[in-house]
Amino acid sequence: MKTVMYKLPQDADKAYPAAAKALKNGGLVAFPTETVYGLGGNALDPAASKKIYAAKGRPSDNPLIVHIAEKESLYKLVMEVPEKAKKLMDRFWPGPLTIILKKNDTVPLETTGGLDTVAVRMPDHEVALEMIRACGLPIAAPSANTSGRPSPTKAAHVAEDLAGKIDIILDGGDVGIGVESTIIDLSGEPCILRPGYITKDDLEAVIGPVAIDPALENIQSGRLPAGDFKPKAPGMKYRHYAPKAPLTLVTGSRQEAKKTLLKLLAKAKAEGKRCAVICEFYKDFEGKADVIYALGSRDDTLSISRQIYDVLRDTDRQNVDAIFADDFGLDSDGHFGYAVQNRLMKAAGGKLL
Ligand code: AMP
Ligand code: MG
């Protein structure tokens, strides 16, 4: 299959009609959102959902998020919309918040990985919204990467993984946030299944107490869920966001982290390894690592989150044997830094020093 790439907004005249046609015909279109690029198909068509799983190489028990362009569209997908969901939609949609509710019969089990709940969000990106409006369908979309690889934050990342496997890529430039949406389950008592830009504090300010899936705490503390441990968001159980070379994550204050990283690098270099370091400042590691990714001050979490997946992907191209990364400051679960750390912990497969 030939994958056609359109640049937005320049190619708008051609891009939206072509995307709408492909989606209505059961095809797949990758598109930018404010979080990461998504791989979209008609959420109401079981065959389209199957194609998404096949293109990504994703296990079919890992449900997809349904993207809509109007808040009202939620009512067509779920049994009921509780008061707390209404409040969160009003406050955070369009935006990086996914809400899980009991699905109705219009949503096929193929889209929800066999679950009787469905995850829905309204993205805050003009290209995503325009595409959904143009086809008039709810769009099932996981991140537009090969399963297990870092999520795509640029159209080039999508092409790297999926060119030849999907119909269209809508190139809307680099994304603004760079980590996936916060997922809150409202099918029972409010519970965060995946941390993101919208934090526990943000959510609690609107609807009161919100729990965190215990599996998340396990990941964060360096104890990845064991085989029989079941996180509520099936996607959280897979090794994820992972570069090819082993990644060791280092925690502590700015000075402590720097000291530990230098020690680890010296040891690995002595063993003849080609090393990459993911750090705050270039000058701290000049001459000490083969590849230096300087992401800037840990005080600017958004700047770090925008860069992190691109950096993890780049390490694969640099043929390094080992990667050492600052965790950019241990953060409480009420802050956005918690989400960035969660992705780094998953990339590290639980190796925290
Ligand atoms: P992705 O957008 O590729 O990061 O994947 C969507 C994520 O949403 C996966 O981690 C899923 O496990 C999670 N998810 C989607 N629908 C549900 C659901 N009904 N219940 C729990 N988790 C869900
Ligand atoms: Mg994903």
Round to whole Å and give the CA distance between 192 and 219: 14
- The pLDDT score that the predictor gives to residue 329 is 80
Round to whole Å and give the CA distance between 226 and 183: 22
Q: Which fold has domain 4-220?
A: DHBP synthase (3.90.870)
Cross-strand bridge partners of residue 38: 31, 143
- The pLDDT score that the predictor gives to residue 61 is 81
State the Cα angle at 350 between 258 and 286, rounded to 5°. Answer: 25
**DSSP states along 201-264:** HHHHHHHS--EE-HHHHHHHTT-PPPTT---SSGGGGS--S--SS-EEEE-SSHHHHHHHHHHH
Q: Where in the chain is the domain with CATH 3.40.50.11030?
A: 247-347
| Superfamily (CATH) of domain 247-347 | Threonylcarbamoyl-AMP synthase, C-terminal domain (3.40.50.11030)
Residue with CA nearest ligand 1 atom 5: 142
Q: Could you identify the atom of ligand 1 that is nearest to the CA of residue 236?
A: 10
Q: Where in the chain is the domain with CATH 3.90.870.10?
A: 4-220
State the Cα angle at 154 between 150 and 155, rounded to 5°. Answer: 110
Pocket test residue of 147, 193, 236, 240 for ligand 1, highest count of atoms within 8 A of CB: 193
- The pLDDT score that the predictor gives to residue 162 is 98
Per DSSP, 282 falls in state G
Please, how many CA atoms are within 13 Å of residue 121, restricted to the half-sphere of its CB? 26
Residues 6+ apart with CB under 8 A from 152: 30, 36, 37, 143, 144, 145, 158, 160, 161, 309
- The pLDDT score that the predictor gives to residue 242 is 78
Which of 111, 144, 161 has the alpha carbon at shortest distance from 32?
Answer: 144
Q: Is the CB of 63 under 6 A from ligand 1?
A: yes
Which of 113, 105, 5 has the alpha carbon at shortest distance from 52?
Answer: 113
- Centre of ligand 2 to C-alpha 235, Å, is 7
With contact defined as beta carbons under 8 Å apart, do 217 and 335 qualify?
no
Of the listed ligands, the closest to the CA of 181 is 1
Residues 6+ apart with CB under 8 A from 41: 23, 26, 27, 28, 29, 48, 49, 51, 52, 139, 140, 141
- The pLDDT score that the predictor gives to residue 222 is 59
Q: Is the CB of 243 under 6 A from ligand 1?
A: no
Which of 315, 307, 312 has the alpha carbon at shortest distance from 289?
Answer: 315
- Centre of ligand 2 to C-alpha 98, Å, is 13
pLDDT tens track, the chain, 353 positions = 999 999 999 999 999 999 999 999 999 999 999 999 999 999 999 999 999 999 999 887 889 999 999 999 999 999 999 999 999 999 999 999 999 999 999 999 999 999 999 999 999 999 999 999 999 999 999 999 999 889 999 999 999 999 999 999 999 999 999 999 999 999 999 999 999 999 999 999 999 999 999 887 766 665 555 444 566 776 666 556 778 899 999 988 899 999 999 999 999 999 999 999 999 999 999 999 999 999 999 999 999 999 999 999 999 999 999 999 999 986 777 889 999 988 998 888 867 77
* pTM to 2 decimal places: 0.93
Taking the alpha carbons of 190, 181, 34, 40 in that order, is the dihedral positive or negative? negative
Residues with CB under 5 A from ligand 2 (ion): 143
